[in-house]
Amino acid sequence: MTERKHHQQYENPGNLLYDMKLLLTELPLKFREITSHECAWSLPTYYRKMRPSTNEGNTSSNLSNAEVSMVFTVMDGIVNDFVREYEEYKAEKQKNISEMDS
């Protein structure tokens, strides 16, 4: 997964609402980017794979078993990165608040 430090990626440091929104809005972009890379899909293929199956017997997806496995692997990594980044950001903010109260 892509490693980035939260204090380097925010354009409006110190604005909690902005930072939380940015952290959340990056999730679908990271998911698309990493999944497409790992599955060797172009952007059109990624969106084509999201379409409902035209085969009435296959109501789940247009993905192979390997692609399903990779999607779960990518999502696990993204969620873990998200939680780590959020916890680091939160700890830093809480430390700053504690220092200001002292």
Domain span including residue 93: 11-101
The 10s digit of each residue's pLDDT in 26-79 is 999 999 999 999 999 999 999 999 887 776 665 557 899 999 999 999 999 999
Task: Assess if residue 3 is contained within a domain.
Answer: no
In-domain check, residue 54: yes
Nearest to 38 by CA among 48, 47, 30: 30
More confident residue, 99 or 23: 23
Asked, for residue 5, whether it belongs to a domain, the answer is no
Residue 95 lies in a domain: yes
Q: Is residue 21 part of a domain?
A: yes
Residue 6 lies in a domain: no
Residue 77 neighbours by CB under 8 Å, 6+ apart: 1, 34
**Residue 1 domain-assigned (yes or no):** no
The total domain count for the chain is 1
What pTM, to 2 d.p., does this model score? 0.73
Return the pLDDT at 101. Answer: 73
Residue 58 covered by a domain: yes
Half-sphere exposure of 17 (CA within 13 A, CB side): 0
